[in-house]
Structure 1
Amino acid sequence: MFIPLHDAVELKYIRVQYVTIGIIAINVLAWLFTTVASPEVVEHASLGLGFIPAVVFDHAVLDPSLVIVPDDATFVTYAFLHLDFWHLASNMLFLWVFGDNVEDALGHLKFLVFYLICAAAGAALHGFVAPEAEGPLIGASGAISGVVAAYFLLHPRVRVWVLVLFRIPLPLPAFIPLALWIVQQFAMLALDLDSMVSWGAHVGGIIAGAILVLVMRRKDVPLFDRAIVTPKAVERKPDVQQAIAASE
């Protein structure tokens, strides 16, 4: 529906979004490793680190030779693997645009905890929807859906550059594309249960993110920020006469 490109919300409490950058780096390194590795290694990583509902809920047993981490740990580890470059790129772009401001509102450590809980919530709802599914769930979408939900509650009126229909760049108040995106996830969960996309993971992350930001944000961070920050690219410049008058 849309691709986020840029927002102009300045960081108020932190200087650098270390956790956001670190998460992106880990995801990129994991993807590079699976890209250069043999198909057998990739399959082993997907099965050993991916979230498999049938295994977690004891409907099936994973071959012991494929086990890398305990079943419970896959509620989180799945979120650091991606199917291909575009799967990785789309998730990391959303995280880059929206993650820094959520990290700013929560603080570094709380944001890391927030991110991991949203990932686990995404896996949990995915498993609830399809408890006997034997295919591994991979990708950061559940966690990033939580980030999007938190941003929506924190900065709904901030203008964000988005690429609409993958070709039209527009600066829109954040609540417009994000509300449409959130509604789409719930609608697709209800209508498209057989899809290759785990809408359950998205919705689980959204619900967790919306709840967690209420209790984890800094005490002086408001919800529904009324400050509208316009991207510099669309700011109106004073005309020549105004500039002359100002200099007199």
Structure 2
Amino acid sequence: MFVPISDNNPLRHLPFQYVTVALIVVNVFVYVVFVSGLFADALETTAYTFGLIPAVFNDYRELPAQYAVVPESFTLLTYQFVHGGFLHLASNMLFLWVFGDNVEDAMGHWRFLTFYLLCGVAAALVHDFAQPQSVAPLVGASGAVSGVIAAYLMLHPNVKVWVLVLWRVPLRLKAAWVLGFWVVLQVFSVLTAAENESVAWWAHIGGLAAGAVLVVFMRRRGVPLFDRGLVTAVPPSRS
């Protein structure tokens, strides 16, 4: 498995990726305060209150009164900021940190925020369509981050990314290989997932599809797709 560490891809339009960092801060804050157990043991309450529950969203079930804090439609957004554990949070935030800055750079701050949230909403709707009577809360930023991954792959497939192979071996590969492998893994997982699978693979697919479509329309004018016009270093000629 490839674990991304960093990419050699400087910002071209923005001085700093404020929205990417803000999203990470908000996700970490929600985890520490509501999920981690440091202040209160509230994982189940938080998941059922702010997670998207397809059976409730589709009116097959009613949410108990103690969990019905926000309108069910709002959970299309709130579920994106709740994570079920530290590794769940860390993996999503790592991918967002490595790849979000350049997608934000290609769109601008506010457009990127809209893009991120829309990818998360699309991911939830696809998950809801695939499992309309599920009573398990959908939580996590994976759907939105999947959209970021798709956008990065559309924008910068030829950029080199440092990854850890099998969590140990550092390697520098093109983003097309790293993220392409990740996309294939999601499709394979959807096709082979067990009935009671705890990972919402369809949400990942929904986020990927939304990101691939939205980046075409939401990138800045003049920002190319697929690294068109990318200038790479050419070794000097030897006489």
TM, length-normalised to structure 2 = 0.93
The answer (yes or no) to whether the contact 2:147–2:208 under 8 Å persists in 1 is yes
C-alpha distance in 1, partners of 2:30/2:40?
Answer: 14
CA 1:130–1:157 in structure 2 vs 1: closer, same or farther (change >3 Å)?
A: same
The answer (yes or no) to whether the contact 1:50–1:74 under 8 Å persists in 2 is yes
C-alpha distance in 2, partners of 1:5/1:118?
Answer: 23
C-alpha distance in 2, partners of 1:228/1:86?
Answer: 37
AA at the equivalent of 1:211 = V
| Residue 92 of structure 2: aligned partner | 91
- Deviating above 6 A after TM superposition, structure 1's stretches of 4 or more consecutive aligned residues are none
CA 1:57–1:193 in structure 2 vs 1: closer, same or farther (change >3 Å)?
A: farther
C-alpha distance in 2, partners of 1:33/1:15?
Answer: 31
| Residue 79 of structure 1: aligned partner | 80
| Residue 150 of structure 2: aligned partner | 149
AA at the equivalent of 1:10 = P
| Residue 70 of structure 2: aligned partner | 69
C-alpha distance in 2, partners of 1:46/1:206?
Answer: 23
| Residue 30 of structure 2: aligned partner | 30
**Offset of 1:42 from its aligned partner?**
2.6
**Offset of 1:107 from its aligned partner?**
0.5
C-alpha distance in 1, partners of 2:184/2:224?
Answer: 23
Q: How does 1:216-227 map to 2 (within 5 A)?
A: 216-226=218-228, 227=230
AA at the equivalent of 1:217 = R
Query: SS of the residue aligned with 1:65?
Result: coil
Which consecutive unaligned segments of at least 5 residues does structure 2 have? none
Query: SS of the residue aligned with 1:4?
Result: strand
Asked which structure has the greater CA Rg, the reply is 1
The answer (yes or no) to whether the contact 1:46–1:136 under 8 Å persists in 2 is yes
The answer (yes or no) to whether the contact 1:102–1:151 under 8 Å persists in 2 is yes
Cα deviation, 1:62-100, whole Å, max 9, x if unaligned, reads 012211211011111111011111111111000000000
C-alpha distance in 1, partners of 2:231/2:138?
Answer: 38
Count of aligned positions:
232
AA at the equivalent of 1:7 = D
CA 1:228–1:43 in structure 2 vs 1: closer, same or farther (change >3 Å)?
A: farther
CA 1:205–1:229 in structure 2 vs 1: closer, same or farther (change >3 Å)?
A: farther
Cα deviation, 1:149-190, whole Å, max 9, x if unaligned, reads 000000000000011122211000110111111111112112
Is 2:20 the partner of 1:20?
A: yes
| Residue 110 of structure 2: aligned partner | 109
Which consecutive unaligned segments of at least 5 residues does structure 1 have? 231-235, 243-248
| Residue 246 of structure 1: aligned partner | none
CA 1:149–1:228 in structure 2 vs 1: closer, same or farther (change >3 Å)?
A: farther
**Offset of 1:193 from its aligned partner?**
4.4
TM, length-normalised to structure 1 = 0.90
C-alpha distance in 2, partners of 1:214/1:89?
Answer: 28
| Residue 130 of structure 2: aligned partner | 129
Q: How does 1:190-209 map to 2 (within 5 A)?
A: 190-194=191-195, 195-209=197-211
RMSD: 1.7
AA at the equivalent of 1:214 = V
